[in-house]
Amino acid sequence: MNEPSGCKGLNFFNPRGATMRGEVRVIKLILSGWLAAIVGFQLFAYLLESSYSELLLNDLTFFNLPIQFWLTGQFLPLWFIILCVLFNLWMDRHTAPSQEGSLRFRIKPIQREDE
Amino acid sequence: MSYGLIQFVPLAIVAVMFALFMFSGLRNRSKQTSEYGFSGSYTGRVGIGAGIASNWMSAASFLGLAGVFYMKGYFAMAYVVGWTGGYVLLLVLMATQIRRFGKFSAPDFVGFRYESDTARTLAALISIVISVIYCVAQFRGIALLVSWLFGIAYIPAVVIGTSLLVSQVVVSGALGVTRNQKLQYFVLIITFILPLMLLTRKLGYFWILPQFGYGAAIGELQQQFGFNCSEPFAGTSLFEWFALCFTLMFGTAGLPHVLSRFYMVPGIRDARWGVVWGLFFIALIYWSAPAYGVLARLLEARSGVPLYAGGADAADMIILTAAGLGGIPTWAIGLLAAGGISAAFSTAAGLLMNGSASFSFDIYPHLIRPNASERDKTYAAKGFFLVLAAIVMVLTLQPWGMIAEIAALAFAVAGNTIFPAFLLGIWWPRANAAGVICGMLAGLVISFAALLIGDSLPLVAQLFPFTSSAFIGAPLVMIVIIVISLLTAPPSAAIRLFISRNVHDCAEE
């Protein structure tokens, strides 16, 4: 039982097949948004703290909350929810119906082929 | 908080809440297997999300997070971001693919993917270690609440709390009670947010959305008492913040009891949308928890209580302290206590049962009794449940740290072991059994390095802090898996074909 030749060397950085290429592309976009927000907000807070006085940091508020408190504690979890929604919408539109069902019943035929 | 007195009203509320869960579990037991099982009807995506959130909400979320905010101010945001951001990793990199493997537990997945009983047994042992550490955090929360409810010291409270938990599991098992997770989530969220609304209203802040209303308290603390809890990196570094945050994220995507949610939902599409709802429900708690820490600090400052007077124990009970100092009604304080003890009980019971299942199905028949029948395995599971409870109880007698810190160690172990094994198992078909076994062993060493040799080698403690070791540890473990896999024989063609075709839908082009 050999891998299809078009799938040899498949991995996250070397996606093969239209489905996997599309899926990896959207995963990379989502993870970029995820990482940029986490790292970006902390660097913003760090630079703000080191460059300006604490007073300025406390004067920047959003709905009563200091800006870094709001961005990290409230906006980031909301941003994660938005990213998850975007990912799900993309997957709902692009994933093949055969990949959406439970594979509990698809494993057995393959094992039989192997035997 | 007043110790030495029995809290009758809160005790009555705790009893009523447990009776409600038991009654609901008895009423729904016939429906439950189909709701969270593998076929039949289910309660929909919101229900799956509530199940994920209810499964997730433990003493660390309910009690511990507010305590860390009280002690460490802005630094505690790393917990909020880590415990929510991990779900993005889980959803995009693992949830869908795990379902495509069609396996139903972490050891099952590892054993199948890496075609190795040794890897499967190691994954089972690691799952048990994670369950024990996570349970110690839960037992600490239970003991502190029992101590407050009955007015007794911590050590007898640990013993009584353990006895109550074991009794509840035994009675529930005997009666066939199942968890109504949707009800449990909605009760927990009400018991957490309603007292917070009452508290902010009493203090004269914007109480309709206390998640924003407490911002005024941050300003008051700064202006009147000179205490700045919003200063981002006071007394800590950017590295420490990122290390903790990413460790919690990797751990979230690697905790066996979190991953198990995706094996048990009828459809992949529902599982994915269930994550979104689950994350929203979890975020509701995390948007609110900082308020308790900040308001407690303000109320203590107004009362002239010195900073950090009560230490870690007082910090872990800070939501009750805030409620008590704020003068909200006793029944509302009782709701908080009931919610906390319920979250800790359900998480601890679930983890102990998961741990005992790992032992009886993955270790006992493979290492101890190869010919074990199903009946033997059931007895082994029951016996090991009691052994695990006793181990956790003894460990809880020791003051290891705050609830959230102990939980973070469990996340670090998961992030250093299960997370790399799953990630490479899904996305790199070349990863093999030798690689994953060496990787998981390296992950265990990294997780406990700071505790074992941190005193003699300070650099190790700095790079791999015991709550935050997976930030550097998880990439290191992945390197170990990759190098060892490349130096040894590749996995079978059958499993590589399975990953290409069934997991990634790659066919001939």
The domains of chain A are located at 7-114
B225 interface with A at CB cutoff 8 Å: no
Q: Which residue has the tokens 């945050």?
A: B245
User: Token match 């390197």: residue?
Assistant: B479
Q: What is the pLDDT at residue B139?
A: 95
Type of residue at B397: L
* pLDDT tens figures, B82-104: 999 999 999 999 888 888 887 77
Nearest to A88 by CA among B128, B268, B214: B268
Is residue B179 over pLDDT 70?
no
Encode pLDDT of A23-81 as tens digits: 999 999 999 999 999 999 999 888 888 877 665 566 788 888 888 889 999 999 999 99
pLDDT value, residue A4: 60
Question: Which of B180, B160, B138 is closest to B11 using CA atoms?
Answer: B160
Query: pLDDT tens for residues B201-221?
Result: 999 888 888 988 888 888 888
Strand pairing report for A65-66 and A61-62: antiparallel
Q: What is the pLDDT of residue B405?
A: 94
- Across-strand partners of A65? A62
Please answer yes or no on whether B267 and A102 come within 8 Å at the CB atom.
yes
- pLDDT for residue A50: 80
Q: How many Å lie between the alpha carbon of B209 and the closest alpha carbon of chain A?
A: 10
Quote the pLDDT of residue A57. 64
B133 touches chain A (CB under 8 A): no
Give domain status of residue B509, yes or no: no
Output the DSSP codes for B289-312: HHHHHHHHHHHHHHHTPPTTTTHH
Tell me what pLDDT residue A82 has.
97
Is the pLDDT score of A102 beyond 50? no
Q: Rounded distance, CA A81 to CA A30, Å?
A: 11
Q: Which backbone phi and psi does A16 adopt, to 5 degrees?
A: -125, 145
- Of the ranges A52-56, B44-48, B70-74, the best mean pLDDT one: B70-74
The total number of residues shown for chain A amounts to 115
* Chain B interface includes A76 (CB < 8 A): yes
Cβ distance of B505 and A78 shorter than 8 Å: no
Q: Rounded to 10 degrees, what is the CA torsion of B312, B318, B321, B322?
A: 150
Task: Find, among B97, B422, B411, the residue nearest to A27 by Cα.
Answer: B97
Find, in chain A, the residue whose alpha carbon is nearest to that of B496.
A3
pLDDT at A100: 58
CB B45 within 8 A of CB B272: no
Is residue B173 predicted with pLDDT exceeding 80? no
Residue B436 lies in a domain: yes
Write the pLDDT tens digit of every residue in B1-27. Answer: 555 688 889 899 999 988 888 888 777
List C-alpha distances in Å: B447 to B67, B158, B251, B414, B478: 24, 26, 12, 9, 14
> Between the CA of residue B70 and those of A70, B60, B67, B149, B328, what are the distances in Å?
17, 14, 5, 22, 19
Cβ-proximal residues to A105 (8 Å cutoff; 6+ apart), any chain: none
Whether B497 sits inside 8 A of A3 (CB atoms) is: yes
Given a contact cutoff of 8 angstroms between Cβ atoms, the answer to whether B131 and B53 are in contact is no
- Supply the pLDDT for residue B423: 96
* Cα angle B360, B176, B277; round to 5: 85
Chain B hits for A12, CB-CB cut-off 8 Å, are: 427-428
The CATH number linked to B272 is 1.20.1730.10
CB contact under 8 A, B287 and A73: yes
pLDDT at B294: 92
Q: What is the pLDDT of residues B216-257, one digit of tens each?
A: 888 888 888 877 777 888 778 899 999 999 999 999 998 887
Percentage of chain B lying above the pLDDT 90 cut: 52
The tally of domains found in chain B comes to: 1
- pLDDT tier for residue B288 given thresholds of 50, 70 and 90: very high
Among B85, B230, B501, whose Cβ lies nearest the Cβ of A34? B85
Q: Encoding tokens for residue A4?
A: 């299809």
Residue B286: pLDDT over 90: yes
Does the residue B172 lie in any domain?
Answer: yes
The domain of B166 spans: 8-365+375-503
Report how far residue B57's alpha carbon sits from residue B344's, in angstroms, rounded to the nearest whole number. Answer: 8
pLDDT class for A108, splitting at 50, 70, 90? very low
Q: Averaged over A1-30, what is the pLDDT?
A: 83
Residue A90 confidence (pLDDT) above 80: yes
* pLDDT on residue A28: 96
For B373-413, the pLDDT digits (tens) are 888 888 898 899 999 999 999 999 988 889 999 999 999 99
Model pLDDT, residue B43:
64
Confidence at residue B259, expressed as pLDDT on a 0 to 100 scale: 77
Q: Which of B90, B108, B427 to mutate to test the interface with A (most CBs of A within 10 A)?
A: B427
Give residue B36's identity as a one-letter amino acid code: Y
Interchain proximity A68–B245, CB inside 8 Å = no
Q: Which helix (H) or strand (E) holds B374?
A: helix B374-396
Q: Within 13 A of B407's CA, how many CA atoms are on the CB side?
A: 30
* Residue B498 with chain A: CB contacts under 8 Å: 107, 110
Cα distance between residue B474 and residue B253, in whole Å: 12
pLDDT of B26: 78
Closest CA to B193 of B216, B217, B212, B209: B209
Say if residues B422 and B267 touch (Cβ distance below 8 Å). Answer: no
